[in-house]
């Protein structure tokens, strides 16, 4: 995001919020004119911030992953949980503000492959804090030893299965699956 005034920043965020709402209702079928109409702004105003619909969707996905990483980092720094409790909570992180209807993600694979690649890349990257907590949990004998690659493959496969194949909001199923796997590691 470029440097914007307070008012411009508010407009930028309202465009993102409206896009999330419309995406959750219609998937990629929403129109830029619908965003403009709901916000009582012109399409030209939207194009001041986003060059096209793909850039707008990219910004939503980017915001979602930033929120997830910020939540994970806060858990990592928490002093109130054991390493294994932190690890479990990090694995179950779900965005609050940038909650999207995941049942529409597969549409991106076809219509916006560059945005879909960002999703795939984000899921696969930045496991350092998770691995550190895994190592701490194993050292503290809170969970059984498990190879990092096996651990990542197991949870990455679960995330992809739930995000690309299941309901609009798989957060409860995600937590149940992760707790089941995690309990097997204890």
Contact at 8 Å (CB) between 133 and 76?
A: yes
The span from the CA of 113 to the CA of 136, in Å, is 37
What end-to-end distance do the CA atoms of the chain give, in Å? 43
pLDDT of residue 182: 85
Distances, alpha carbon 182 to alpha carbons 47, 93, 141, 143, 158, in Å: 45, 14, 14, 8, 12
Evaluate if residue 178 carries a pLDDT over 60: yes
The span from the CA of 95 to the CA of 15, in Å, is 18
Contact at 8 Å (CB) between 30 and 19?
A: yes
73-127 pLDDT tens trace:
999 999 999 999 999 999 999 888 888 888 888 888 899 999 999 999 999 998 9
12-61 pLDDT tens trace:
999 999 999 999 999 999 999 999 999 999 999 999 999 999 999 999 99
Contact at 8 Å (CB) between 11 and 40?
A: no
| Ramachandran class of 125: left when φ > 0, alpha when ψ lies in -120 to 50, beta otherwise | beta
The span from the CA of 160 to the CA of 167, in Å, is 12
Q: What is the dihedral of CA 36, 38, 39, 43, to 10 degrees?
A: 0
Assigned token pair, 16: 């993102």
């Amino acid at each position: 995001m470029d440097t914007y005034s307070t008012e411009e920043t508010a407009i930028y965020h309202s465009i993102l919020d409206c896009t999330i709402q419309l995406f959750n209702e219609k998937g990629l079928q929403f129109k830029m004119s619908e965003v403009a109409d709901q916000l009582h702004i012109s399409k030209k105003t939207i194009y001041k911030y986003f060059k096209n619909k793909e850039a707008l969707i990219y910004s939503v996905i980017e915001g979602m992953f930033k929120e997830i990483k910020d939540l994970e980092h806060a858990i990592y720094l928490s002093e109130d949980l054991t390493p294994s409790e932190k690890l479990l909570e990090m694995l179950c992180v779900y965005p609050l503000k940038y909650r999207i209807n995941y049942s529409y993600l597969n549409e991106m694979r076809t219509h916006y492959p560059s945005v879909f690649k960002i999703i795939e890349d984000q899921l696969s990257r930045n496991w350092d804090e998770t691995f550190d907590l895994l190592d701490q949990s194993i050292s503290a004998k809170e969970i059984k030893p498990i190879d990092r690659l096996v651990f990542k493959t197991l949870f990455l496969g679960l995330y992809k299965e739930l995000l690309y194949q299941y309901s609009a909001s798989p957060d409860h199923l995600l937590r149940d699956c992760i707790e089941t796997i995690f309990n097997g590691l204890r």
